[in-house]
């Protein structure tokens, strides 16, 4: 009962004109940050922290939180329109979102993403307000071995279900893992696959690689087609049709569940929930072959998961003081600079602040929906631009984005190189999603494996004696076996 | 479309003008980046964000914190050593971790002790050993006895291989013969908190700053501060000297340095601006609120401290490399 009273007074504060204005400004900035591919949510939030120094702590935090989830939505726009993910969590949205745009359903894709994000964010906020603290404690049981097993399950799911061939998908996963090992070893600190080239010590940046594989490769593929029809996105079809609603509804709820559940575990990152949600929809679908060809569930599920994750990740932060992503760590910096220490005692010492911030999450989600639905039409108009102009614009945008990451021309070359590689993979019909996931999860997978083995003094039994970890490992094996059977030649399956 | 092209050209042109002018202007003419070689959320990061927020007022340009975590800081320091010495990219050295990275041949560090120009020291943070509030270890003696009784079973977290916390474990093992800890290298204080709260790790070797608020709130229990004097942030916790282990003294300092070859006026400007920021009562109050003791050492004084720490660390790295179980 107590938390309901607190929440109501939180709403009263969050709906005051000043705080509304902060939340609105945050959503606008955040969306812009999400749209720019070089500027991820964490860098964007960090850069904008000084903007908030003039505000009171509550206002500052409301604005920064709004920037954070605004950025999560902004990344979708470029994924759908030009096949360039604005930030890592929107990678999977490219697969079906851009196909929808090519079919003239770009407005619908953005519309369902906005609606899904809204529902996911809202439900996660409600859950945050009601059951945050006990869940967060429980999620901490998730130690390095479980972490390792979960990452492995993610890789198996994507490998097993991503493409038409299991061998090709596994090949791409391993390639992604190999690329992720370039640079300084995260545990012992020895350089690997760097060949003394200083630029390789930090590894290959995820953003330039992904922009190349998706954005640049897309331009190359499109450019070789003699005539390209101009995509017509009518403003009238922003809202999904009855059939699309039916398909998306379940996806949105499952995406919410996945996003919220994984958001409670510190360190998962925003990208795993989106991949998991996508794969789950593909697995459950009666027509999995539509995925990759513009299936609306393929946009609704990951976009919902993405926003539910962003809100749920606030739970370990607000209740335990553990930042679960780089962006939230930046937010934590803002709390501390403003004289607040996140953790269990913040709820007791400053309930006014905590509950106002939580209430502002609800308000922010509404603002994002109101802000984005009308804008969708505007964004979709970009698709009316003839390809020969659009391609140049996208190229400029990608080059500036890659360069702005750390003002390094090396990143631009990485992007162009992976653009050519991505073009080759598309021609050979090799799936890109496993490669991207391998690249992104590689370092966390390696670290959790080695930390687990340090915990057990080198005994591999640590992976089999912890029930949750064992369950996840069995699930990983099962996924691979099922995928192998499904994709095996007919005579083998009958034998 | 035409207007779009025009505006793109306009933006590019103004960018070119800005770049062209930068060389002619007085330092700093653009954003200064302050690198932290650890993931966000740790105590170096917190200190960096506080000082950067104040320093940019004196600097006249934004100062933003850039996190380059990984490999116990090596990723970040490699980057710092490689950067152009123009003062626009400076970063934190965490002694003795920076020294141990240089001293460990396995690391194949591409930088040496001369790669950095120390500018100013900000914080000196003593080591501390802490456990969960419901842990069976009530004192350092409990912990040492348990580590003797069942060697190599107590899961003990560092904040990275060859960090000051790692060396402190070795110092304690040396001072208390027969006690052996099962060392687990985590990537920072936030991860230590997560794993200890989750019951995956038994003991953490850390620094006072990262954990002081949780010690005061009673969420965790500090067993010993690895110093000769009690910390004002946790005055009830005994020191290693009091408990009969005067050789187990460990701390980490955080100071700011740049790549070698920075022009003297740039170093002087940065030292001046950062000193003003660090002497700001707001800076001291905010750091002390998060458990960090400010210890300003500028120029030659910090340079001397840097060299002394490097010499001391040599011995510990030898121990770490010869210890059988790692």
Query: Whole-number mean pLDDT of chain A?
Result: 80
Report percent pLDDT > 70 for chain B: 89
* Nearest residue on chain A to B159, alpha-carbon basis: A187
- Rounded to whole angstroms, the Cα distance separating B193 from B39 reads 14
Q: Name the maximum alpha-carbon separation found in chain A.
A: 72
Contact in structure between B140 and B129 (CB atoms under 8 Å): yes
* Nearest residue on chain B to A137, alpha-carbon basis: B198
Q: What is the pLDDT of residues A2-48, one digit of tens each?
A: 667 777 888 888 888 888 888 888 888 888 877 776 566 666 676 66
- Rounded to whole angstroms, the Cα distance separating B87 from B134 reads 48
Query: Whole-number mean pLDDT of chain B?
Result: 86
Instruction: Supply the pLDDT for residue A407.
Output: 67
Instruction: Supply the pLDDT for residue B176.
Output: 92
Measure CB to CB from residue A140 to each of B161, B184, B194 and give the nearest one.
B194
Nearest residue to B96 via CA among B174, B156, B158, B173? B158
On the question of pLDDT at B106 being above 80, the answer is no
Q: A324: which residues sit within 8 A by CB, 6+ positions away?
A: A263, A265, A266, A267, A268, A313, A316, A317
On the question of pLDDT at A359 being above 70, the answer is yes
Contact in structure between A296 and A108 (CB atoms under 8 Å): yes
| Interface check B200 vs A, CB under 8 A | yes
Report percent pLDDT > 70 for chain A: 85
Place of tokens 């207007």: B3
Angle between helices A326-337 and A41-48 (to 10 degrees): 20
On the question of pLDDT at A301 being above 80, the answer is yes
Indicate the number of domains in chain A: 1
Nearest residue to A18 via CA among A64, A81, A60, A79? A60
On the question of pLDDT at A222 being above 90, the answer is no
Tell me the torsion sign for CA atoms B155, B159, B163, B164. Answer: negative
Nearest residue to B122 via CA among B233, B34, B214, B235? B34
Give kind and range of the element (H or E) at residue B309.
Answer: helix B300-322
Measure CB to CB from residue A190 to each of B106, B184, B190 and give the nearest one.
B106
C-beta neighbour count of B24 within 10 angstroms: 7
On the question of pLDDT at A366 being above 50, the answer is yes
A241 — pLDDT class (breaks 50, 70, 90): confident
Report percent pLDDT > 90 for chain A: 10
Residues constituting chain B:
326
Q: What is the pLDDT of residues A336-356, one digit of tens each?
A: 666 677 776 677 777 788 888
- Rounded to whole angstroms, the Cα distance separating B98 from B114 reads 12
Nearest residue to A121 via CA among A323, A364, A353, A327? A364
Nearest residue to A296 via CA among A260, A256, A250? A250
B15 — pLDDT class (breaks 50, 70, 90): very low
A314 — pLDDT class (breaks 50, 70, 90): confident
Give phi and psi for B88, each to the nearest 5.
-85, -10
CA distance A186 to chain B (A): 4
- Rounded to whole angstroms, the Cα distance separating A381 from A418 reads 29
On the question of pLDDT at B168 being above 90, the answer is yes
On the question of pLDDT at A406 being above 70, the answer is no
The mean-pLDDT minimum among A424-438, A446-460, B64-78, B142-156 falls in B64-78
| Interface check A188 vs B, CB under 8 A | yes
Instruction: Supply the pLDDT for residue A57.
Output: 76
Higher pLDDT, A310 or B237: B237
CA distance B194 to chain A (A): 6
Classified as helix, coil or strand, B245 is coil
Question: According to the per-residue pLDDT averaged within each range, which of A56-65, B96-105, B312-321 is highest?
Answer: B96-105
Q: What is the pLDDT of residues A287-296, one digit of tens each?
A: 888 888 888 8
| Interface check B49 vs A, CB under 8 A | yes
Q: Which residues of A136-175 are buried (b: 16+ CB within 10 A; e: fewer)?
A: bbebbebbbbbbbbbbbbbbbbbbbbbbeebebbbbbbeb
CA distance B249 to chain A (A): 25
- Rounded to whole angstroms, the Cα distance separating A411 from A417 reads 10
C-beta neighbour count of A221 within 10 angstroms: 14
Structural domain span for residue A69:
2-494
Average pLDDT over residues A172-178: 93
- Rounded to whole angstroms, the Cα distance separating B4 from B8 reads 6
Instruction: Supply the pLDDT for residue A344.
Output: 66
For chains A and B, count residue pairs whose Cβ atoms are closer than 8 Å. 143
On the question of pLDDT at B9 being above 60, the answer is no
CA distance B226 to chain A (A): 24
Instruction: Check CB contact under 8 Å for B79 and A201.
Output: yes
Q: Which residues are paired to A490 by β-bridges?
A: none
* Nearest residue on chain A to B67, alpha-carbon basis: A326
For residue A201, what are the CA distances in angstroms to A223, A267, B38, B304?
35, 23, 16, 30
- Complex confidence, ipTM: 0.73
- Rounded to whole angstroms, the Cα distance separating A192 from A204 reads 12
Q: Which residues of B touch A332 (CB under 8 A)?
A: 40-41
Higher pLDDT, A295 or B116: B116
What domains sit in chain B, N to C, each tagged with a CATH number? Answer: 30-125+251-318 (3.40.190.150), 129-250 (3.40.190.10)
Instruction: Supply the pLDDT for residue B18.
Output: 43
Taking only residues 138 to 197 of chain B, the set having a beta carbon closer than 8 angstroms to any beta carbon of chain A reads 152, 155, 161, 182-187, 190-191, 193-195, 197
């Amino acid at each position: 009962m107590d938390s309901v009273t607190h929440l109501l007074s939180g709403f009263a504060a969050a709906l005051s004109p000043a705080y509304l204005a902060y939340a609105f400004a945050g959503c606008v900035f955040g969306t812009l940050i999400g749209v720019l591919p070089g500027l991820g949510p964490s860098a964007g939030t960090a850069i904008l922290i000084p903007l908030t120094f003039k505000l009171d702590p509550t206002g500052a935090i409301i604005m920064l939180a709004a920037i954070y989830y605004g950025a999560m939505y902004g990344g979708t726009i470029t994924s759908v329109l030009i096949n360039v993910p604005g930030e890592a969590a929107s990678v999977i949205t490219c697969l079906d979102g851009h196909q929808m745009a090519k079919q003239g359903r770009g407005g619908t894709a953005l519309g369902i993403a906005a609606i899904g994000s809204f529902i996911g964010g809202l439900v996660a906020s409600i859950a945050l307000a009601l059951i945050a603290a006990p869940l967060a404690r429980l999620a901490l049981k998730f130690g390095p071995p479980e972490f390792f097993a979960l990452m492995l399950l993610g890789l198996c799911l994507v490998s097993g279900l991503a493409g038409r061939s299991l061998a090709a998908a596994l090949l791409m996963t391993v390639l992604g893992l190999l690329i992720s090992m370039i640079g300084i070893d995260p545990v012992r600190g020895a350089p690997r696959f760097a060949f003394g080239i200083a630029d390789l010590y930090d590894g290959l940046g995820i953003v330039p690689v992904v922009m190349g594989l998706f954005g640049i490769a897309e331009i190359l593929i499109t450019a070789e087609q003699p005539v390209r029809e101009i995509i017509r996105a009518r403003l009238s079809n922003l809202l999904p049709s009855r059939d699309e609603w039916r398909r998306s509804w379940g996806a949105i709820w499952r995406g919410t569940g996945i996003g919220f559940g994984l958001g409670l575990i510190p360190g998962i990152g925003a990208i795993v929930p989106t991949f998991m949600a996508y794969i789950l929809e593909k697995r459950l679908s009666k027509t999995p072959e539509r995925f990759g060809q513009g299936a609306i569930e393929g946009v609704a599920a990951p976009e919902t998961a993405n926003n539910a994750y962003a809100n749920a990740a606030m739970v370990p932060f607000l209740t335990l003081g553990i930042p679960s992503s780089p962006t939230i760590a930046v937010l934590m910096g803002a709390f501390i600079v403003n004289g607040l220490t996140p953790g269990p005692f913040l709820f007791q010492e400053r309930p006014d602040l905590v509950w106002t911030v939580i209430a502002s999450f609800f308000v922010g989600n509404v603002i994002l929906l109101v802000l984005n639905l009308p804008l969708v039409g505007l964004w979709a108009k970009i698709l009316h631009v003839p390809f020969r102009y659009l391609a140049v614009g996208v190229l400029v945008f990608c080059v500036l984005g890659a360069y702005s990451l750390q003002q390094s021309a090396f990143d631009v070359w990485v992007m162009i190189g992976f653009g050519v590689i991505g073009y080759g993979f598309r021609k050979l019909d090799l799936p890109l999603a496993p490669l991207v996931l391998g690249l992104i999860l590689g370092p966390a997978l390696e670290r959790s494996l080695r930390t687990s083995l340090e915990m057990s003094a080198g005994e591999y039994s640590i992976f089999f004696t912890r029930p949750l970890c064992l369950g996840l490992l069995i699930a990983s094996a099962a996924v691979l076996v099922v995928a192998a059977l499904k994709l095996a030649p007919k005579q083998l399956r009958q034998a | 479309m035409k207007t779009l092209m025009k505006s793109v050209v306009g933006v590019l042109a103004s960018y070119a003008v800005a770049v062209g002018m930068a060389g002619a202007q007085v330092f700093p003419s653009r954003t200064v980046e302050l690198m932290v070689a650890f993931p966000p959320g740790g105590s170096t990061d917190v200190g960096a964000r506080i000082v950067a927020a104040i320093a940019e007022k004196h600097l006249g340009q934004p100062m933003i914190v850039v996190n380059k975590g990984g490999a116990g800081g090596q990723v970040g320091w490699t980057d710092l050593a490689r950067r152009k010495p123009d003062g626009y990219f400076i970063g934190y050295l965490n002694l003795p971790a920076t020294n141990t990275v240089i001293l460990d041949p396995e690391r194949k560090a591409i930088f040496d002790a001369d790669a950095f120009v120390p500018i100013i020291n900000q914080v000196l943070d003593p080591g501390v050993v802490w456990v969960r509030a419901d842990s069976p270890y009530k004192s350092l003696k409990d912990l040492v006895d348990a580590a003797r009784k069942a060697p190599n079973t107590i899961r003990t977290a560092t904040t990275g291989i060859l960090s000051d916390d790692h060396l402190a474990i070795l110092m304690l093992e040396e001072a208390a013969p027969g006690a052996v800890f099962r060392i687990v290298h985590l990537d920072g204080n936030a991860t230590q908190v997560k794993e200890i709260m989750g019951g995956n790790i038994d003991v953490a070797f850390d620094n006072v700053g990262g954990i002081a608020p949780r010690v005061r709130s009673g969420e965790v229990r500090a067993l010993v501060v690895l110093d000769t004097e009690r910390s004002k942030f946790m005055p009830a916790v005994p020191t290693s000297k009091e408990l009969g282990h005067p050789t187990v003294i460990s701390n980490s300092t955080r100071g700011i340095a740049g790549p070698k070859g920075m022009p003297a006026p740039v170093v002087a400007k940065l030292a001046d601006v950062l000193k003003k920021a660090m002497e700001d009562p707001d800076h001291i109050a905010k750091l002390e609120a998060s458990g960090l003791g400010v210890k300003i050492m500028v120029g030659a004084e910090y340079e001397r401290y840097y060299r002394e720490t490097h010499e001391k660390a040599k011995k510990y790295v030898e121990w770490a490399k010869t210890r059988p179980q790692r």
